[in-house]
């Protein structure tokens, strides 16, 4: 069964690979046999992830990429080696009510979380079509793209749009052998949300999760390998929650 989820012979691009989910994904994919292209704005942090990948005996190529900057995305694709799988993981958040949210914060969230997913997907699809080969895109959305949370208007809007974009890409490019799925994580502790999760508000939120805890990072590994490998060859357009049944909680 391990061969079913093997990534041997595949090279995977992971955006936002300098920390959090991205760094974890890189290690998991390398452990399954993949070579990696690691992209982020913080190149010095990428080197830490690259060393972990190489320690597992796999190749790691580091490329600077600001997904909110179309020119940066295009330049990265022009210099990096070909990839067969793309993990659109880069993302940011700004907590604010709608009437207090600045235009700059709105643009930052939408440019990173939505425009960035589109730009990376477009560049990958253009190359796969030009080469006459299929490909596989995994967009990291969120349960907040399926339901809403307080003071997260820009983030929830961006992630809901990512879910719909995932379905649109799946529909448009199935005939070219290009798949696109999304993972919708619930609450996992990362450096971005760690302080909030340990605050009174965060602890209250955790109590509303049916599992009564946040996810452990290794619990993302199975869903990732399912969608990244050929085990999911007939899956496209799916949005897979990994949330401890949070979406099933009562209103």
Sheet of 60-64: strand order equals 60-64, 35-40, 11-15, 85-88, 135-140, 178-185, 239-242
On the question of pLDDT at 135 being above 70, the answer is yes
Enumerate the active-site residues.
155
Q: If you average pLDDT over every residue of the chain, what do you get?
A: 96
pTM of the complete model beyond 0.85: yes
Residue 178 near residue 137 (C-beta atoms within 8 A): yes
Output the six-digit token pair for 117: 């997913």
Alpha carbon distance 202, 218 (integer Å): 21
Instruction: Return d(Cα 88, Cα 179) in angstroms, integer.
Output: 13
- CA triplet 222, 145, 142: central angle to 5 degrees? 30
Distance between CA atoms of residues 186 and 139, nearest Å: 14
pLDDT tens by residue, 139-169: 999 999 999 988 899 999 999 999 999 999 9
pLDDT digits (tens, 9 = 90+) for 177-188: 999 999 999 999
Residue 251 reports pLDDT greater than 80: no
Task: Answer yes or no: is pLDDT of 191 > 90.
Answer: no
pLDDT confidence of residue 114: 98
User: Would you state the pLDDT for residue 204?
Assistant: 92
Contacts of 93 (CB under 8 A, 6+ apart): 109, 152, 154, 155, 192
The dihedral region occupied by 16, where left means phi > 0, alpha psi between -120 and 50, and beta the remainder, is left
**What contacts 228, CB < 8 A, 6 or more positions away?**
7, 10, 12, 29, 32, 34, 85, 87, 136, 138
Would you say the C-alpha torsion 223, 228, 232, 237 has a positive or negative sign?
Answer: positive
Q: Which residues contact 110 (CB under 8 A, 6 or more apart)?
A: 154, 157, 158
- pLDDT at 118 (0 to 100): 98
pLDDT at 109 over 80: yes
Q: What is the pLDDT of residues 6-44, one digit of tens each?
A: 999 999 999 999 999 999 999 999 999 999 999 999 898
On the question of pLDDT at 107 being above 70, the answer is yes
Binned at pLDDT 50, 70 and 90, residue 101 comes out as very high
All domains of the chain in start order, with CATH: 2-248 (3.40.50.720)
User: Which two tokens mark 59?
Assistant: 């190749």
| pLDDT tens digits for range 32-81 | 999 999 999 989 899 999 999 999 999 999 999 999 999 999 999 999 99
Average pLDDT over residues 234-248: 97
């Amino acid at each position: 069964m391990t061969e079913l989820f093997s990534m041997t012979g595949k090279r995977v691009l992971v955006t936002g690979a300098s920390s959090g989910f991205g760094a974890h994904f890189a290690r998991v994919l390398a452990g399954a046999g993949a070579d990696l292209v690691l992209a982020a704005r913080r190149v010095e942090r990428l080197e830490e992830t690259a060393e972990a990948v190489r320690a597992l005996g796999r190749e790691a190529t580091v490329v600077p990429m600001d997904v909110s900057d179309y020119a940066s995305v295009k330049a990265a694709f022009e210099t990096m080696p070909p990839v067969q799988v793309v993990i659109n993981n880069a993302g940011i958040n700004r907590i604010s009510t709608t009437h207090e949210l600045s235009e700059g914060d709105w643009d930052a969230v939408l440019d990173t979380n939505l425009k960035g997913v589109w730009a990376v997907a477009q560049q990958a699809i253009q190359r796969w079509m030009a080469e006459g080969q299929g490909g596989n895109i995994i967009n990291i959305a969120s349960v907040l793209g399926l339901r809403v949370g307080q003071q997260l208007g820009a983030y929830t809007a961006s992630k809901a749009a990512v879910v719909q974009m995932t379905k649109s890409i799946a529909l448009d490019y199935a005939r070219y052998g290009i798949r696109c799925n999304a993972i919708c994580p619930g609450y996992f502790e990362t450096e971005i949300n760690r302080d909030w999760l340990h605050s009174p508000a965060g602890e209250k939120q955790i109590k509303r999760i049916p599992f009564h805890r946040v996810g452990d990072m290794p619990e993302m590994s199975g869903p990732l390998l399912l969608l990244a490998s050929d085990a999911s060859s007939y899956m496209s357009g799916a949005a897979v929650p990994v949330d401890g049944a949070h979406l099933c909680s009562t209103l």
